[in-house]
Structure 1
Amino acid sequence: MVNGSVIPLEDRLRAGFGHLGDTLDEYLTRICSEDSVVHSFASVDPELARRRVRYLESVPADRRGRLHGLVLPIKDLMPVAGFPCSYGSVTRTEQHVGTDPWAAQLLRKGVIIPGKTQTSEMGMTAYCEPVGMPAVANPLWPGRTPGGSSGGAAAAVALGLVDVAHASDGGGSIRVPAAATGTVGVKPPHNSSGGSPTAQGFITRSVGDAAFVFGVSTVRRPLRIGVLVEPLHGGGSVSPVMVSTVCTVADRLSDLGHRVREVSRPYGERPFAAFADVLASRSVHIPGPASDIIEWLRERGAALSESRRAEAVADFDAVLGMILSAWDIDVLLSPTLAFDPPEIGHFSRLEPPEDFAEQTRWTPWATLFNMTGGAAVSVPVAAAGRPPVGVHLGSVRASFGELLGVASQVHP
């Protein structure tokens, strides 16, 4: 595994402006020679990437985008012209002539897309075992899942194939794999109203690099931080190392001047039941043959009455007001995962209802911020004698810059 450079990504990009071709070739050599270990990429197109470099080299210096020359793969749920898009299943592979607006915006900023990173089918699970393709391996925990659905992005960054990778998050899908692979995963703030859980973000090796890619300035000031180590959803147990690491971080933040205190669960079972029904309702629109977990979600969604669907969206949308009323804090601090990444196949071997329940027990905190729309980040924290532990920080009242500011005090 390649460690990230201590030089900020912004400075590395600026230093490489004059020789983009050589820089790209270094990345492509790394990807093509090392990715067979983890299967993080769904597709790679060196010629398309080199064509992009030739175009960027022709752009006058005063017209270069802010991310000029950044090698950045796109998650394989998002169409990009020239690349196949498989949506986590060989049976769904399509060749697109157009590019998703979000990826197009990155291209306008000057990124180079070398390929697409693997995801679970339709991004619907917290593990990454694409249908008909090799499961993505975890560089940090051999034989175990890298988490999902952005497992390919996390594995590519953890192995050092790229410095930053696009990822998306509809229930923890950026932050869960970041925690499982010892990387930094950031879900930005998004408009979650109407039962909309998904945001686009990035996985990096540092908070500073994430702030640069988002174009956000970190703000460090004393904040009110609530600590919650009790599972918010799923009712499972939490590994002692997760609890002790969060407590260590809480003490560190207190020493830095933040007002830190414990908080308790702000609600019962109803909000997560709403999230699950919103997810199932959205699954109804997934076409074609599907894996067992997708088929189960579709059937569950189809069985919901129109009144229950409306009620679930209303309950989903009410969560933000609920936590603002319950918690007089700026940021929530918790573990990201309840226990270490299990072996590949651990979830998918279960029957779909238990598969879903076990994923929830593994990731009992992240979904809250998909419902509130608040920014959230998972950062790795060193733990003696073992790989780092993912610690989660979510914005209750803090701005995006303030959240990244406190995150940078936990992990640079």
Structure 2
Amino acid sequence: MDSRFSIEQLARDLAGLTPQEHGFTYVDLARTPTAHGRLSGWILSAKDLNDVAGMPTSKGAKHRAYNAETTDGFLQDLQDEGALIIGKSSTPELGLRVDTEPVDMPHPVNPLHPGATPGGSSGGAAVQVARGLLRAAQGSDGGGSLRVPAAACGVVGFKPSGTDLGVSGFITRSVADAAFLHDITPRSTPARIGVLKQPLFANTRVDPRHLRAVDEAAAHLSAAGYPVEAIEPYPIADVTFESFRHIFTSRLAGMAAGEGYFEWVRQQGLKVSEHMLIDAHRHAHGLPRLLADCWGVDAIVTPMLAYTPPPVGTFLALDHDDNFMEQTRWSPWGSLFNVAQLPAISVPWTVDSQAPVGVQVGSITLKDAELLHLASILHV
């Protein structure tokens, strides 16, 4: 275990930081491990959507807060392997946005871009790892929520494959740490790489630095012996995005009425009929084969974000419909891999000695272990 990360060092680091700077909504450095195992020595935070017994859970809004009596299964498994969970990381209300501005709670700021959003919804986790407070932090990804903040803060965000739109995972300082935490041994395999620089789900201008990062990463993979070719958006990307909206918003349809952006999303979900939801899931089920047939590649490389993280408050200053679409314009590639339930990862890539930008590597036919090996070529 890396000796730079200890309870004593974390206590010293937190002493001079505000909640906006450290991204914790709750921290208890007196906690001790409950088991010994493969993850002994790892100190983690949990996203404040998830329960840890003995800690408050806010779900990203002060009025939703309660004290948890049990621990969510994914987190309990980590503790059973020896990991120590010492606090909760900030997230927007119910993890619904790609910023991290919880209701009536502090809004974390980006360590690389002062005054800017760290991204979300696992934004507090990304802040903690990017500041060097933690070696890794637990989060989840239902539309880019690990990869977006990782890209915004210059760290690694891995979304494993799954059987649903959202999955649990980690923000880490390296690809190797992501693989270790998931107990995956990266595995090499021949693969064709597609390079996609055009936005998929929204019309937006992509910052030239982000495009250059993709070109350089693709060239690095080519030099490592992987065939690389340019690809274009597939013809029915609009159907995929509609399917994402229907699956994503329908999850809130059965919840009690609320306010603000949450209520807008809930109202969108109420408009999703049973037939629309069946069609959305049918499209999602067939999407991996559709992508493989259309592109003829095993993985794709894209920007993770279209532009530099904007100031805190940018998205919430917009009306709700524009807010949703601006989030999509900021990350018009990420939700593809949630709908397709395929693994994807954002790794930092430095251009012109400035703050790194996120390069996304997403699987079309590769298993998680094979994708992680590909990503490790770009970032150790």
Fold shared by both chains (TM-score > 0.5): yes
2:315 maps to: 347
Q: Aligned Cα RMSD in Å?
A: 1.6
> 2:219 aligned with 1:251, yes or no?
yes
Decide which structure has greater helix share.
Answer: 1
Deviations 1:364-410 (A, max 9, x none): 11101101111110000111142111000011111211111111111
1:218 maps to: 186
Equivalence map 1:170-189=2 (5 Å) = 170-189=142-161
Equivalence map 1:5-404=2 (5 Å) = 11-12=1-2, 23-47=6-30, 49=31, 52-53=32-33, 64-191=36-163, 196-268=164-236, 269-287=238-256, 289-290=258-259, 292-404=260-372
Contact between 1:39 and 1:134, CA under 8 Å: does it hold in 2?
A: no
Distance 1:124 1:362 in 2: 15
C-alpha displacement of 1:271? 1.2
Distance 1:380 1:403 in 2: 16
Aligned partner of residue 85 in structure 2, secondary structure: coil
Which one has a bigger Cα radius of gyration? 1
2:114 aligned partner, one-letter code: P
Contact between 2:191 and 2:227, CA under 8 Å: does it hold in 1?
A: yes
C-alpha displacement of 1:32? 4.1
Contact between 2:59 and 2:65, CA under 8 Å: does it hold in 1?
A: yes
C-alpha displacement of 1:98? 0.7
Deviations 1:321-363 (A, max 9, x none): 2112212211110000011111111111000000000000111
C-alpha displacement of 1:304? 2.6
Distance 1:167 1:372 in 2: 20
Aligned partner of residue 73 in structure 1, secondary structure: strand
Contact between 1:348 and 1:355, CA under 8 Å: does it hold in 2?
A: yes
Distance 2:327 2:154 in 1: 19
C-alpha displacement of 1:306? 2.5
C-alpha displacement of 1:288? 5.0
Greater shift, 349-358 or 324-333, is seen at 324-333
Distance 1:337 1:374 in 2: 19
Distance 2:289 2:27 in 1: 44
Tell me the TM-score normalized by structure 2: 0.96
Contact between 2:99 and 2:118, CA under 8 Å: does it hold in 1?
A: yes
Distance 2:256 2:83 in 1: 32
Greater shift, 263-272 or 217-226, is seen at 217-226
Aligned partner of residue 185 in structure 1, secondary structure: strand
Contact between 2:46 and 2:88, CA under 8 Å: does it hold in 1?
A: yes
1:19 maps to: none
C-alpha displacement of 1:121? 0.5
Greater shift, 237-246 or 297-306, is seen at 297-306
Tell me the TM-score normalized by structure 1: 0.89
Cα pair distance change 1:36/1:271, threshold 3 Å? closer
State how many pairs are aligned. 379
2:44 aligned partner, one-letter code: L
Deviations 1:46-88 (A, max 9, x none): 23x1xx24x55xxxxxxx3100121011000001100000000
Contact between 2:257 and 2:263, CA under 8 Å: does it hold in 1?
A: no
C-alpha displacement of 1:312? 2.4
Distance 1:181 1:75 in 2: 16
Distance 2:6 2:120 in 1: 29
Distance 2:241 2:325 in 1: 11
Where in structure 2 are there 5+ consecutive unaligned residues? none
Where in structure 1 are there 5+ consecutive unaligned residues? 1-10, 17-21, 57-63
Distance 1:92 1:303 in 2: 25
Distance 2:368 2:248 in 1: 26
1:8 maps to: none
Distance 1:275 1:341 in 2: 23
Deviations 1:134-177 (A, max 9, x none): 11110010000000000000000001111100010000000000
1:5 maps to: none
Aligned partner of residue 398 in structure 1, secondary structure: coil
Contact between 2:20 and 2:106, CA under 8 Å: does it hold in 1?
A: no
Aligned partner of residue 145 in structure 2, secondary structure: coil
Contact between 2:212 and 2:351, CA under 8 Å: does it hold in 1?
A: no
Distance 1:134 1:288 in 2: 24
Distance 2:235 2:285 in 1: 14
Cα pair distance change 1:173/1:116, threshold 3 Å? same
